[in-house]
Amino acid sequence: MSSAPARLRSLLARPGCHLMPCCFDPLSARLVEASGFPVTFASGFSVAAAHGLPDTGLLSYGEMEHAMRRITGSLKAVPCIGDGDTGYGNA
């Protein structure tokens, strides 16, 4: 089996639009995968909302990294695109 980055590159090289439901935690990522979608993504908004927070940069870089590691670690075959969020540089 090829790596997740290789599968993502192959998918994005195909013409057309590609549906990729958003996930926000390991369970939602596994549900996307079980539903047969070839790719998923996680955004700063989705992770913040799952924590009951507005998307105003209240989550730290470490919290976002932890969420992405848990999400990608839960997937077996589907690549996940992670939103880099807003930079974490200032208030």
pLDDT at 85 over 60: yes
Query: What is the model's pLDDT at position 90?
Result: 60
- What percentage of the chain exceeds 70 in pLDDT? 90
36-46 per-position pLDDT tens digit: 999 999 988 89
Banded pLDDT at 87 (limits 50, 70, 90): low
Domain residue ranges in the chain: 24-82
**E strand residue ranges, the chain:** 22-23, 40-42, 80-82
